[in-house]
């Protein structure tokens, strides 16, 4: 007889996440680090980085582009060539040897890109030809964003095929599942929010239409993996990448309930943007999404061991993903378990570079 109550659960409690058994509820958030090697494939340095963090219940990899056309930044890994698959296989083998679990985050940057990063100098793809404000980081330095190419209906089907192929590649690479990146102003998020989607066909206008591509991608990926090994990430209030929505509460309440049909392994909702209410649209209490979701719920944003435990015990979340704390504390779980002090992080080494600020953070003695 299991007498465990919600109040007994902590970040260190095991959990069954769909078909994936986790030894704890500490999750490594997807963290862009811009350290892929030649051919945008993972290197031995990347293998070591993920191996070091295998004591977390689940690792979600950095966003990995599903095709060359999906890239948005220099030196981010892909999952569309054999070299990349082989590089990721070394990562998954290393994590599994340490008893960890790892899923890959499937990424299409959409309009958050530049022609110099894409095949044949093509324009970035988007739901609508709406240019972002500001500049994008390229191999030639900062450059102004370009007006993206609005995808045709046929091209949208091509994008879905890219997701399917990438999901199949993840099987070959030995992952435990995949996370569909529907957050942070990238392609699927661009379709969801009416600030970036001005289409007047079946992929634009009302909530059903704006959600269509996300749901079709999730269905396609679930058909390959089984939905119980698929997660989705959303960011309802994130203004990053010039994102806005006229009614984020209505938009994301609809999306969360629509995703229930798949019985996914988890839903991953980042709270980023909640600290600057109104930037991406009228603010709302993100905890209102939790009761709308029928499955396991993960959240993220500046949590500590104490606040993470409280969120789990209050049933506001089942798991917490950590970013900066796991960058600087590869043994974060062990530090949580022993109430040990944490390493400080060096934000100047977050993006690009070598082992410094990547694989050289000290473990506990």
List residues with catalytic annotation: 186
Quote the crossing angle between the two packed helices 207-225 and 153-172, to the nearest 10°: 30
Looking at the DSSP bridge assignments, the partners of residue 283 are none
What value does the CA radius of gyration of the chain take, rounded to a whole number of Å? Answer: 19
* Interatomic CA distance for residues 3 and 15, integer angstroms: 15
Token pair 């095709």 is found at 67
Q: Which of 61, 56, 119, 118 is nearest to 88 (CA)?
A: 61
* Interatomic CA distance for residues 299 and 60, integer angstroms: 13
Listed in sequence order, the DSSP H helices in 226-330 are 248-259, 305-313, 324-328
* Interatomic CA distance for residues 193 and 301, integer angstroms: 21
Structural contact between residues 204 and 226, judged by C-beta atoms closer than 8 angstroms: no
Q: Which of 202, 193, 296 is nearest to 250 (CA)?
A: 193
* Interatomic CA distance for residues 146 and 149, integer angstroms: 9
The encoded tokens of residue 336 equal 């949580």
What are the b/e assignments for 316-355, b being 16+ CB within 10 Å? ebbbbbbbebbbbbbbbbebbbeeeeebebeeebbbeeee
* Interatomic CA distance for residues 299 and 317, integer angstroms: 6
* Interatomic CA distance for residues 41 and 80, integer angstroms: 10
205 phi-psi bin (left φ>0, alpha ψ -120 to 50, beta other): left
Structural contact between residues 330 and 360, judged by C-beta atoms closer than 8 angstroms: no
Distances (CA, A) of 97 to 21, 55, 266: 15, 11, 24
């Amino acid at each position: 007889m299991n007498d465990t109550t919600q109040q007994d659960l902590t970040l260190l409690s095991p959990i069954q996440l769909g078909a994936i058994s986790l030894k704890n509820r500490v999750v490594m958030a997807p963290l862009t680090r811009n350290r892929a090697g030649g051919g945008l494939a993972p290197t031995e340095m990347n293998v070591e980085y993920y191996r070091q963090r295998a004591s977390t219940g689940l690792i979600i990899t950095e966003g990995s582009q599903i095709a060359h056309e999906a890239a948005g930044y220099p030196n981010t890994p892909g999952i569309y060539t054999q070299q990349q698959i082989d590089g990721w296989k070394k990562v998954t083998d290393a994590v599994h040897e340490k008893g960890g679990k790892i899923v890959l985050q499937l990424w299409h940057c959409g309009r958050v890109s530049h022609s110099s990063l894409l095949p044949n100098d093509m324009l970035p793809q988007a739901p609508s030809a709406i240019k972002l404000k500001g500049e994008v980081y390229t191999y030639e330095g900062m450059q102004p964003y370009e007006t993206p190419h609005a995808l045709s209906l046929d091209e949208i089907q091509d994008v879905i095929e890219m997701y399917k192929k990438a999901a199949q590649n993840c099987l070959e690479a030995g992952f435990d599942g995949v996370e569909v990146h529907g957050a942070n102003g990238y392609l699927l998020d661009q379709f969801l929010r009416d600030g970036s989607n001005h289409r007047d066909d079946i992929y634009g206008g009302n909530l059903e239409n704006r959600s269509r591509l996300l749901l079709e991608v999730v269905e396609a990926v679930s058909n390959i993996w089984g939905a119980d090994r698929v997660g989705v990430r959303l960011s309802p209030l994130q203004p990053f990448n010039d994102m806005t929505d006229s009614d984020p509460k209505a938009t994301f309440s609809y999306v969360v309930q629509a995703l229930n049909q798949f019985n996914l392994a988890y839903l991953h909702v980042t709270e980023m943007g909640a600290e600057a209410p109104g930037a991406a649209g009228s603010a709302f209490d993100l905890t209102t999404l939790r009761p709308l979701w029928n499955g396991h719920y993960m959240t993220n944003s500046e949590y500590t061991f104490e606040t993470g435990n409280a969120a789990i015990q209050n049933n506001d979340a089942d798991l917490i993903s950590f970013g900066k704390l796991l960058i600087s504390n590869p043994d974060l779980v062990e530090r949580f378990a022993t109430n040990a002090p944490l390493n400080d992080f060096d934000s100047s080494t977050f993006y690009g570079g070598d082992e410094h600020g990547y694989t050289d953070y000290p473990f506990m003695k």
